[in-house]
Structure 1
Amino acid sequence: MTIPSELVGSLPRTTELVSMWDGSEGAAVVVQAVRDTVQMLEKLGSRVVSDGEQTKADAWTYPVTGADNVAVGDGVVIPYADGHQRQLPRLTAGPFRIRNHAADYLRAAQKHATVPVKQAVVAPSTLSLLYPPDGLSGYPREDFVDDVLNETEADIRACLAAGAHVVQIDFPEARLSVKLDPSGGLLRDFVDLNNRLLSRFDDADRARIGIHCDPGADQDATHSLDVDYAEVLPSLFRLEAGNFYLQMASESDPDRVLRIVAEQMRSEGRIFVGVVDPIDPRVESPEEVRDRVLNAARHIPLDRLGTCDDAGFAPYADDRSKSRDTAFAKIRARIEGTALAVAALGG
């Protein structure tokens, strides 16, 4: 018996890569950052690795970074609990096209990996926020949505064809949508849109596609931790995905949430439970992680349980809130603590 454990997403950039974001150049710096990340994850015992999103400017709208038909910092505002905010770009003209493909990040990481590599992609619901409320002349929203779905489908298929262990669809606005619209209508619209994408894949492909949901983790702040998971999970589990990656370590009452998960989870697929909190500066001990896994095992069948981080550690290129060493120490605790739980369960 094993319990798989996976990285969710971003890791703090290397010092050299941070300098590059600040103005210097050098393709070698990018390659080295990806290589160092993959090799360190393998050294820690990760059986599935990723590039830690080293070269994405952000995890929300990287597909259009550098595109000439978006206005930067002129779109939807994402407010965080500490008062800082992020503002998404706004599409200024059609058509929507992905400029930076997830499959390219995947292939770059695979060059340095000796174990399977997973790849994160942004959800169509996230990209839908780029379309301006007043519309665009000659490019109706329906055409935009079709382009988003077509482009995202093609990118996911390219990742699967390239041998991705799993493609993780990041859905950070799921919980936030309830804060913006307490009626739940916006969340239902987002889930319907994402299901339109998932319906294009067969069962075998969907078994290799996952959904990540969290309350945000940027500069040590969340955007929607105050939203009750009970208002999100029933809709979230309507998504026709094979894996779900759920923030849990930072929940004030994880037992209550795990009970809801057990009641609402789909009849197939795996639930990856967050057992380390990227925002907490304290590094969890392996024993603490073990206890969180054992608690989750009280609610979720062992053959359907996995562990993960609550969220990415540095989703934006300018997020300097935590060190690379701290992130890797937390990942080590997750891996070692999961192994301790397996041993305690008789695996």
Structure 2
Amino acid sequence: MSPSLRARSTRTVAAVAVLALSVAGLAGCVSRESASASSDAPALVSNDQLSTVTLDVGDQKGGTEALLRASGELDGTPYAVAFSTFTSGPPQVEAATAGQIDFAVTGNTPPVFGVAANARIKVVSVYTNDASGDQILVPPTSTATTFADLKGKKIAVGKGSSAHGHVLLQLQKAGLTLDDVQLVFLQPADASTAFSSGDVDAWAIWDPYTAIAQVQNGSKTLTTAEGVANGYGFGIASQQALDDAATNTALQDFVVRLAKASAWAEANPTEWAAAYSAAVGIDPKAGELAQGRSQRPAIALDDSVVESEQTLYDAFVEGGAIPGGNQFADFVDTRYNDAVAQATTSN
């Protein structure tokens, strides 16, 4: 497929995903034929062979593109980059599985659902955070003071999102089960409406939505995911992109640039918060609050990361949300680890 056709297809898939994709759909449409089989990375090619490559990158508002542009790391790429906007991680996993995007950064939970569905993706990079921006919010008038107080209540949450994983882990911590609460699966925009109108009692969500609700509506933090969930973000790549020598070379360069951009944001929080707020179109106070707790520097994709994700996978299996039997490690590819380490160490 030509770069122009791929770019158009990406935007079409993204639009459909925003409107209709569910995690159940992901599980139902992905083939289970040797999806977790690993192949050797193709040899890197020279930059002059990348002029015809277009990387199709899935993004979320204020995410990868905004960060790369603000830091200047998108300048001078020897390949083209086409960004498509998604509302959350699950449809990004679906698009990567279909080969319609080459790469995307998601929260910690969408790759888990991808693993359960034998999605044709690999996790190729990881970004760490203390998860303090992932919160369960309640209205300003709520009398709830602990997560256990939500027993019998309605919680809005995006299915297959990092917030979904957060809720399951909070249930475990409180000694509750899914039968003790009513999960209302909604994407962020609809969840915000339901929460504001009182149709749900709580909202499990991530920044910047957390910060917006706190700044604009005075929403209260019932609990955060800090110390409960791992807070990781993951770079996922389509197997198709990883198997192509030129695209794989461009992807390594892109992942390195993203790691450098993340380091820049951590070193320049005020400048990044302003750029982020402008990119998302939110109150600068909300942007500053969100980015003050949502920096995600790149780290090594090592055994401790994989083990933490396997724990999250097992929590979803125990909750009956996904089938068991797969290992998260089988969907991890560390081919970019050395390049990322070298780039971030030299900064």
Do both share a fold (TM > 0.5)? no
Task: Identify the TM-score tier after normalising by the shorter chain.
Answer: under 0.3
The structure in which a higher percent of residues are helix is 2
Point out which structure has higher relative CO (alpha carbons under 8 A, 6+ apart): 2
TM-score scaled to structure 2, two decimals? 0.27
TM-score scaled to structure 1, two decimals? 0.27
